[in-house]
Each structure stands twice: as C-alpha cells, then as structure tokens.
Amino acid sequence: MSEKVRGMAEDVEGLFEILSGDRRRQRQDASHQLAIIAHQDPTLLHGHTDELVDALYRPEAQTRWEVLDALSEVVAEKAGVLDGAYDGAETSLFDEGSSTVRLAAFRFLTRYGATSLERSDRVWGIIDEAIQCYHGDPDYRDMLGCLRDFARGDISVATRKALVTRVKFDADSGRGFLKSISEEIIDISKEAEKEAKKTAKEKAAPDDGEAKLAKKTSRKKVAKAADDEGDTASE
C-alpha cells in the first residue's frame, strides 16, 4: 500500500466518525471528502457501506448527494450489500428541495439497477416515474446519460423493452441532444437483444464434438436398421 493510499485509508475512518456526528457543516465537509475518495479509489469505502447507507437519512441535502455520489462509485462491485440503500435513494429521488439530490439518486439507482436482471426490475418502476416527473427539467439531460449507461448494463428483457418504449417518443419527435441520446438508447437496446439471441442460440446448439457424435450414432442406427431388414428378408 502506497503512502498516499495509506493516508487516505486513515482519513476514511476519521471522516466516517464525523459523518455520524451531530454537526451539519462537518457532515457536509466529510461527505464531500468521502465522495472524492470514492472517485479515486472506491475500494477504500467497501468496508463502510452500512455507514454510507445510514447517511442517506441525514437532513441536509449536500450530505445526501455526496453520499449518493460515493455510492455510485462503490455499487459496481458492492451492489449485493447495497440493497438497503434503495429506500433512502428513492426518498432522495423525489426530494422537492434539491435537484442535485434528485440527480445523484437517479444516477445511483440506474447504476445499481444495471448490475443484475433482478435489480433492474426492482428499480425500473421508480426510474420510470422519475423520467415522467423530470422530463422537462434541466437535469433531464444528465438523467438521459444515466439511462444510456443503464441500457448498457445487465438489465432484464422486460425492463429493456419498457425503457425503449419510454424514450421512443423523444427518439421519433425530439430534437438535439434529447433526440440523439434517446435514439442511442434504442440502438444499444437493439444490439443487446441481438447479442442475447445469439448467445441463446449458441447455448442451444451442440458443439462440434456433440454434433459429430450425434451424426455418427445416427448413421449406426440407420445401418443397423438396414441390416435388420436384410436379415428379416433372408428368413
């Protein structure tokens, strides 16, 4: 471990102590530093996922958006232990006082949902609701970028179809960035569907060895049947 990483790891312990404290300004500063560390080396926060989830319930908006930012960096490798972050993220997604919190929650939920078929189904309902709520907001541009990454993830067929249906209107009738990213989401989804069908076909088809064995077995059966017919005719 380098001196820099060792120093950051030591900082993490102290920052989480502050994050659980009762001083609002200090919590905000600590959460900001944790978000920076998460971008540099998310593994340093892997042992503190419970504290991060707990911090989603702090009253001040900045602490919540910084923690959501940190969770978005951690979730790729720790999604399995972040199921408890769902409720707090959902509450922040519909926070009436801060668009920054809403966007941070949207980003986390799309990254969380992109990690498995089951999680994609779990988050899609509230993601879809958020799309409808914030479609005309300035932050929707960034949300579209999150949806593009979501489309590239490990999401279910049902969720992918629902996503395509949701963005189709903008792909057909929108303009500029709204139209181009919506079209890209649809193209990504079509390509993913092709790959899924190709993989399923390859799994269903026997490999060369199996195919040759099956062909050889079939020939033996035909030859045996012919021999049996010949024996019967001789009798």
Label residue 175 left, alpha or beta by phi (over 0 means left) and psi (-120 to 50 means alpha).
Answer: beta
Cα within 13 Å of Cα(208), Cβ side:
0
Residue whose entry in the numeric block shows the structure tokens 């926070």: 95
Whole-number Å distance between alpha carbons of 76 and 115: 7
Tokens of 215: 């062909």
CATH architecture of the domain covering 1-82: Alpha Horseshoe (1.25)
Tell which residue, 143, 135, 137, 78, has the closest CA to residue 104. 143
Label residue 156 left, alpha or beta by phi (over 0 means left) and psi (-120 to 50 means alpha).
Answer: beta
Length of the chain: 235
What pLDDT score does 2 carry? Answer: 46
The residue type found at 44 is L
Whole-number Å distance between alpha carbons of 162 and 65: 28
What pLDDT score does 213 carry? Answer: 59
Cα within 13 Å of Cα(116), Cβ side:
10
What pLDDT score does 230 carry? Answer: 57
Which residues of the chain are under the pLDDT cut of 50? Answer: 1-2, 5
Q: How far apart are the first and last CA of the chain?
A: 86
Q: pLDDT (tens digit, 9 = 90+) per residue, 159-193?
A: 999 999 999 999 999 999 999 999 999 999 999 98
Q: At what angle do helices 140-151 and 157-173 cross, to 10 degrees?
A: 140
Residue whose entry in the numeric block shows the structure tokens 């600590």: 30
Question: For the chain, what are the domain ranges?
Answer: 1-82, 85-204
What pLDDT score does 1 carry? Answer: 42
What pLDDT score does 196 carry? Answer: 81
The residue type found at 126 is I
